[in-house]
């Protein structure tokens, strides 16, 4: 089934008197949402006990939980200590997501730095293979790593690069961030045909069944010549991309993705707006 939900907690969650993330699944289900992404962006510092409390609430209210690994990961970097830290961030995120009751971890694969881009890509491909070797050794091989499409030219992970990564192992699920693609392409997602081209690319690289189960990040976004600047909200109508162009395509192609909204501050409300667009498509 298709699921919609936020990345993190909306401002309204706290404004309504809620204080703890374990309360989030019930709150989301009350809105009609059924997905939630927990962020380890600044570090994996969630206790097992709290993760299991969140998991219990997620299962009780049928809210599927995923996680976002720390932003510090860079598998392009061959510095021994920094590379080891990247693997640790991935394995720790995978361990905690299982305690959260989920099996998907979104990963920023890396950045080019001063490397040749071809070399950086080779390092990232090898890094993802090693990450799964480590996960297998730890009994965590069932966790899906979701390499994310990125929004800046300095980062690894345009659409084709991300799909190439995922072609290595069926456990790799692409996280297609449409806002990032829009920013990287300087406003490229303007109409249904632009979104269709993205879906066609995923289907062509990974097959229709894997495409239908992709992980999606969606928000509007502000960008500069270098790419992503900041995520915006649906209410700021001057910013794209717009989900109304994607919703009919997902329904027509019978996709069942996990759609996570990253709009700034209004992620739950805008996730609900996407669900309503989809239902009405």
Mean pLDDT confidence for 182-187: 98
pLDDT digits over 145-157, tens only? 999 999 999 999 9
Cα 242 to Cα 50: distance, rounded to the nearest angstrom: 36
DSSP 3-state percent helix, strand, coil across the chain (nearest 5): 45, 20, 35
What topology does CATH give the domain 3-280? Answer: TIM Barrel (3.20.20)
Whole-model pTM?
Answer: 0.97
Over the chain, what is the mean pLDDT?
A: 97
Q: What is the DSSP pairing of strand 215-218 with strand 110-111?
A: unpaired
Domain boundary assignment for the chain: 3-280
Cα 259 to Cα 17: distance, rounded to the nearest angstrom: 26
Q: What angle do CA 148, 153, 157 make, to 5 degrees?
A: 25
DSSP element (H, E) containing 195: helix 192-206
Q: What angle do CA 74, 76, 77 make, to 5 degrees?
A: 75
pLDDT digits over 101-117, tens only? 999 999 999 999 999 99
Q: What is the DSSP pairing of strand 144-147 with strand 104-107?
A: parallel
pLDDT of residue 204: 98
């Amino acid at each position: 089934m298709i699921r919609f939900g936020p990345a993190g907690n909306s401002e309204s969650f706290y404004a309504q008197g809620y204080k703890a993330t374990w309360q989030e699944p019930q709150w989301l289900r009350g809105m009609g949402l059924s997905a939630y992404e927990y962020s380890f962006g600044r570090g994996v510092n969630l206790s097992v006990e709290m993760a299991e409390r969140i998991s219990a609430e997620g299962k009780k209210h049928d809210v599927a939980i995923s996680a976002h690994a720390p932003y510090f990961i860079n598998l392009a970097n061959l510095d021994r200590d920094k590379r080891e830290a990247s693997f640790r961030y991935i394995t720790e995120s995978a361990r905690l997501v299982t305690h959260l009751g989920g099996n998907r971890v979104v990963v920023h694969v890396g950045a080019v730095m001063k490397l040749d881009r071809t070399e950086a890509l080779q390092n990232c491909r090898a890094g993802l293979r090693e990450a799964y070797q480590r996960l297998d050794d730890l009994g965590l091989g069932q966790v899906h790593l979701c390499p994310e499409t990125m929004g800046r030219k300095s980062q690894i992970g345009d659409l084709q690069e991300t799909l190439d990564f995922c072609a290595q192992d069926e456990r790799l699920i692409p996280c297609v961030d449409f806002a990032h693609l829009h920013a990287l392409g300087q406003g490229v997602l303007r109409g249904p045909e632009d979104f269709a081209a993205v879906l066609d690319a995923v289907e062509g690289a990974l097959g229709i069944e894997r495409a239908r189960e992709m992980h999606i990040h969606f928000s509007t976004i502000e960008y500069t010549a270098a790419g992503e600047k900041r995520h915006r909200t649906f209410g700021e109508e001057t910013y794209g991309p717009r989900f109304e162009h994607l919703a009919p395509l997902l329904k027509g192609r019978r996709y069942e993705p996990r759609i996570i909204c990253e709009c700034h501050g209004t992620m739950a409300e805008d996730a609900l707006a996407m669900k309503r667009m989809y239902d009405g498509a």
